[in-house]
Chain A
């Protein structure tokens, strides 16, 4: 353990500096992730037409849902497969294999540095949103307790591990980028990014329940706005743990098989 910690800290420092060098790009990526989350509340607010609540969401709760979603997805949702696939294709992976640190740590440190930077860059945008929605978001209604933070961390791990498993497909597939693009449509829909899952038709809710995406962002956001509590909350966290387990196994299997047939272009 004494060996591990300094290595991890060093990695984090390197990747923090690295991502800071690309802060302008990071800001632009952050914008594209949050802009819909900031417009969607307005779309819903224009849809109430005098109703008190839609699917159990009062207008204020609807606004909170999307603002928390924007914040949380900046930290949770990982896109590391694009870089990693490129590194596999170009043979850059070889350099990593030679280093005295497990590759998963490096990926984790690099990914989390990006996620943290994105969170920081989101702060000014969040302040603007808060000013704009001011009266709508009753801060008291947002529960940011220990269980929320726990589910945020678990959600990050689910997203990270799935992205890793997906990236391993680059060992076999030539046009892996199109697979990644295909991944985004169900991911955005079933992770609650588009709309709260509770507002979807029953069959779609059932699909969301068994797919991994709900266990990335939807669980923590629903906890924050008080739509998930009691047994359902513990079931959600159990689901997160289950998907962390499943995605780890899947990632490990794909990685082992992939690395065996990796030829290291450019060596």
Chain B
């Protein structure tokens, strides 16, 4: 319990320093929002081009695909806010040897590496994602029942945890692959596959993208849950998978540290 309080206080300190940082670069905030809007527009344009020619992609109508897009955008903003940028510095730390300073701190290294940077400039994107989702549901003429909403929130949280664990494992690879400076791109590729409903894949690929590389849990399954097309059992399934991924990620990190030789000393 004392330990928990300690980490909570630590996280509050992270939040405080991140906020101070943010206040220093206020112009950046709007630049980020604009930039993210551009990419959202780019993706919506892609969807629009396809839906000019068809009424459904693997059973997804255009407003349903918008729910999917909003989910992915929301997930992306959440990931960028919570841990993405802090964690992505790990390979640089390995290369420069500054990881040593983290390892000697009296806190869990994974906690420190993952959560010390809260990117508040992504909050604007979170709002945009919610607005897009509301618009999509409105054009569907569908008000999801409360249960679906709750299922959805739970699944998005599991999606974040799955992406987190994947990204953490990719970053951990840098302990061996010191010279590969673009490992973060692998996590991007992972998320890119999840941009479209995984229903477009055939049975074999769909299984791979559900069980082995679980991109289906990032946006497709949460969006389906919100639309009432996925059974509630999926939440249990997503939770088990997310926890398994998290544990594997942690074990992998511990294992990798045994090979860490430190660049500086």
A: which residues have CB within 8 A of B? 22, 24-25, 28-29, 31-32, 35-36, 39, 42-49, 51, 54-55, 178, 181-182, 185, 188-189, 194-195, 199-201
Contact = CB atoms under 8 A, between A and B. Distances in A.
B49 A47 contact: no
B189 A32 contact: yes
B182 A25 contact: yes
B201 interface: yes
Q: Which of B39, B177, B182 has the most CB of A within 10 A?
A: B182
Contacts of B57: 43, 46-47
Contact of B189 (A35, A46, A201): A35
Contact of A185 (B42, B183, B195, B199): B42
Contacts of B73: none
A23 to B, nearest CB: 10
A24 B177 contact: yes
B127 interface: no
Nearest to A26: B182
A200 B52 CA distance: 8
Contacts of B31: 178
B131 to A, nearest CB: 20
B42 A28 contact: no
B45 A47 contact: no
A42 B200 contact: yes
Contact of A31 (B49, B53, B185): B185
Q: Which of B38, B57, B181 has the most CB of A within 10 A?
A: B57
A195 B49 contact: yes
Given A25-B181, A28-B185, A43-B200, A48 B54 contact: yes
9 contacts: A24-B179, A28-B186, A32-B189, A47-B56, A47-B57, A54-B53, A182-B38, A195-B49, A201-B52
B200 A29 contact: no
B263 to A, nearest CB: 18
Interface in B44-79: 45-46, 49-50, 52-58
A139 B41 CA distance: 35
Given A45-B200, A46-B200, A185-B38, A195 B50 contact: yes
A22 B179 contact: yes
Given A194-B49, A195-B49, A199-B49, A49 B54 contact: yes
Would you call the interface of chain A mostly helix, strand, loop, or mixed?
helix
A39 B193 contact: yes
Interface in B147-196: 177, 179-183, 185-186, 188-189, 192-193, 195-196
A185 B39 contact: yes
Contacts of B38: 182, 185
B237 interface: no
A44 B50 contact: yes
B260 interface: no
Interface of B: 31, 35, 38-39, 41-42, 45-46, 49-50, 52-58, 177, 179-183, 185-186, 188-189, 192-193, 195-196, 199-201
Given A31-B186, A32-B185, A54-B53, 17 more contacts: A22-B179, A25-B179, A28-B186, A32-B188, A35-B193, A42-B200, A42-B201, A44-B50, A46-B58, A46-B199, A47-B50, A49-B55, A51-B54, A182-B38, A194-B46, A195-B50, A199-B52
A45 B31 CA distance: 37
Nearest to B177: A24
A192 B45 CA distance: 13
Nearest to A31: B189
A98 B10 CA distance: 52
A219 B69 CA distance: 30
A32 B57 CA distance: 23
A131 to B, nearest CB: 12
A55 B35 contact: no
B196 to A, nearest CB: 5
A39 B41 CA distance: 20
B64 to A, nearest CB: 13
Contacts of A35: 189, 192-193
B192 A32 contact: yes
B73 to A, nearest CB: 15
Given A32-B188, A35-B189, A189-B42, A25 B180 contact: yes
Contacts of A45: 200
B254 to A, nearest CB: 24
A182 B32 CA distance: 12
Contacts of B53: 47, 54-55, 199
Q: Which of A36, A42, A188, A189 has the most CB of B within 10 A?
A: A42
A29 B201 CA distance: 24
Contacts of A182: 35, 38
Nearest to B183: A28
A194 B200 CA distance: 17
A189 B196 CA distance: 17
Contacts of A25: 179-182
